[in-house]
Structure 1
Amino acid sequence: MITRRTFKAMLSALPALGLLGATAFAQDLRDITFVQPSPSAINSFPVFVAIGEGFFEEEGLNVRVEAINGSGAVLQALSAGQAHFGRPGPGPLIAARSRGVDAVHIYNVSARSNFGIAVPVDSDVQSVNGLRGLVIGTGTADGAEVGFARNVMTAAGMVEGQDYTFLTVGDGGPATAAFLNGEIDAYSASTADTAILNQRGMAVRDITPAEFGRFFGNGIATMGETIRNDRELVEAWSRAFARGHAFALDDANREAVLAHLSAGNPQEGEDREFQSALFDAVRSKTVPPEGSPHLGWYPAEVWQEWQDALVAGGEIAAPLDDLGAAWTNEFAEIGYEAVGE
């Protein structure tokens, strides 16, 4: 395999007449589309690091990132063939599979729950039980944060539409406005969303029961057809992505990582102190829990818990015929081997 460093050396050694050949070589990269459920580069940091460090390029891939609205939209893009890889939540993916969408999770990015239910710091609500009869805001109508909050509320013995309601308000500024206007009493938020609310002056605190920390969040998904018919692509993606993830976890690479994230989303990089703090918060959720063999690994028992919660909450009518087909650890293992090289 020709690495990025080798390729650059080749370019510098080429005479002027050979530049056309070099251009042709560069154009041999395969164009790949990755869709993420929000514009944040930090939430998808391994992708932007792998792009910036040339790990995808070394695998022969030119990755284009597109931001769309929520996990439901990510899964629609994948199933429509508009993207090769995406980062949906496990709840929406299970729900999509119940409707016949053959999407498969291949890498557990948010190995620790990256969602929580937050209330204003001065709210009288001290636990999820205090949300009975109240309104919970969400960033999207069908994103992973909705399924997560529904799971939490179901476990507390409450039913959507009877004991509480959801209201889609967006994230960032719109969520802050919804709190200030009294439209919502709580907000189902990702780690990034909570940090942004606090940064915008809307101080909030998390009231999610500790036991929900085991519910991993969004991960990398592709279509089953892609795995079956284009396995080399999935393996190449997995190697580059895992290398980007491992690179970003090493504090020695911090400045390079933040620079790559700024390139991916310049607005997030305008306030370097905030960007750095948000990256720390998001990165911490991607460190596998104790007992996990490597980065990206999925625990089967938590997939079962996710499905049980979706059935209990009425989000799917019945368990999937084959829950194991919704996820695999084989490509995370391939990525782990690449990191060790």
Structure 2
Amino acid sequence: MSIKKILGAAAAIAMIAGSATVAIAEDLREITFAQPSASAINSFPVFIAIGEGYFAEEGLDVQVETVNGSGAVLQALAAGQADFGRPGPGPLLTARSRGVDAVFIYNTAARANFGLMVQEDSDFQTPEDLAGQVIGTGTADGAEVGFARNVMSGSGLEAGEDYTMMTVGDGGPATAAFLRGEISAYSASVADAAVLVQRGVALRDVTPAEFARFFGNGIVTMNETIQSDPELVEKFLRGVHRGMIFAMDEANREASLDHFAAGFPQEIEDRDFASALFTAVRSKSIPVDPASSMGYIPPAVWSEWQDSLIANGDLAAPLDDLDAAYTNAFVDKISAEFE
């Protein structure tokens, strides 16, 4: 479904929700969704689907667990501690190289949701200018690490040789690292950057425009779940997809913010800031190709992600079967329901 049809699909959602044939089971199946940071806005379609009752209509009771970074999300999935998660494509591919049979099934950040940020008044204008400098990241193995390495290697600079990476955390710790001069740049998500700006650190993005195609975090599950319980995967993703459609309708902004507040009240204490952050995060979910449906995973960019990981030394060699790392089968089926 193209982005032009999203608002039209809202009518289909209303019909489904209001149909007498839709019955919410008294005994819902409890499942766990693991997210890499403590934010309802970053996982907005999930929290909207919870708040609007979309998951309940599918017979699901979705519990959200927050862990530290994409690596931890994948560990939770592999250990059976979570049914679905939202890691980045880079960490997923490196996990698969270690035998973790996790599969990318829905693209919630169709455009790059990271940027290489410097302080606004710094002399750094391009990634090349950061030669010999320290680049901060929120986690040691999150999606922002692979993104930063990708951007830097595109400028001919290699980690450990031409620049240094340092895990500094997010929010207050990242702000302090900038102000103390410990880092010259920060690989930040839209949310991370917004928090730093709110804390008084004016930022400027030096990421080259061509890196916008490197999509960000998305919904992932284990291949075992896909094979043994495809109906569960379809139900969960239908809820996510309906949450995405709901979010794209500007008339639903206040209701969306209320759902985020129910999940993480502290994130919505400054409602104006939260609303602006939601706008920024939501914009990253719109496919680069207007003909693509919400959630679509572009195979060509998937290959580029692998190439960049190999170039940066995060993967020793191409995966034996890159196509097994993702599937658009569920996206195609579910999006067709809302044409």
Residue deviations 1:69-94, cap 9 Å, x none? Answer: 00000000000000000000000000
Q: Provide the residue aligned with 2:163 in structure 1.
A: 164
Q: Provide the residue aligned with 1:17 in structure 2.
A: none
By how many angstroms is 1:5 displaced?
5.8
- Aligned partners of 2:259 and 2:337: how far apart in 1? 21
By how many angstroms is 1:291 displaced?
4.2
Residue deviations 1:167-208, cap 9 Å, x none? Answer: 101001110001011111100000111111111111111000
| Structure 2 counterpart SS, 1:158 | coil
- Aligned partners of 1:201 and 1:339: how far apart in 2? 43
- Aligned partners of 1:137 and 1:187: how far apart in 2? 5
Q: Provide the residue aligned with 2:288 in structure 1.
A: 289
Q: Provide the residue aligned with 1:150 in structure 2.
A: 149
CA contact (8 A) 1:78 1:222 kept: yes
* Structure 2 gap segments, 5+ residues each: 1-15
How does 1:94-173 map onto structure 2 within 5 Å? 94-173=93-172
CA contact (8 A) 1:36 1:65 kept: yes
By how many angstroms is 1:283 displaced?
0.2
Q: Provide the residue aligned with 2:51 in structure 1.
A: 52
Residue deviations 1:10-52, cap 9 Å, x none? Answer: 9xxxxxxxxxxx9xx52x2000100000001000000000000
Q: Provide the residue aligned with 2:310 in structure 1.
A: 311
Residue deviations 1:190-233, cap 9 Å, x none? Answer: 01111111111111110001110010000000000000001110
Residue deviations 1:242-298, cap 9 Å, x none? Answer: 001110111111111111011111011110100000000000000111244210001
CA contact (8 A) 1:268 1:275 kept: yes
CA contact (8 A) 1:242 1:339 kept: no
What amino acid sits opposite 1:271 in the alignment? D
CA radius of gyration, larger in = 1
How does 1:1-341 map onto structure 2 within 5 Å? 26=26, 28-340=27-339
- Aligned partners of 1:104 and 1:339: how far apart in 2? 24
What amino acid sits opposite 2:86 in the alignment? R
* Structure 1 gap segments, 5+ residues each: 11-21
Using the size of structure 2 for normalisation, the TM-score is 0.93
Q: Provide the residue aligned with 2:4 in structure 1.
A: none
CA contact (8 A) 1:238 1:334 kept: no
CA contact (8 A) 1:243 1:335 kept: no
- Aligned partners of 1:232 and 1:195: how far apart in 2? 38
What amino acid sits opposite 1:31 in the alignment? E
Sequence identity percentage:
65
What amino acid sits opposite 1:38 in the alignment? S
Q: Could you say if the C-alpha distance between residues 201 and 151 of structure 1 is closer, same or farther in structure 2, counting changes exceeding 3 Å?
A: same
By how many angstroms is 1:159 displaced?
1.3
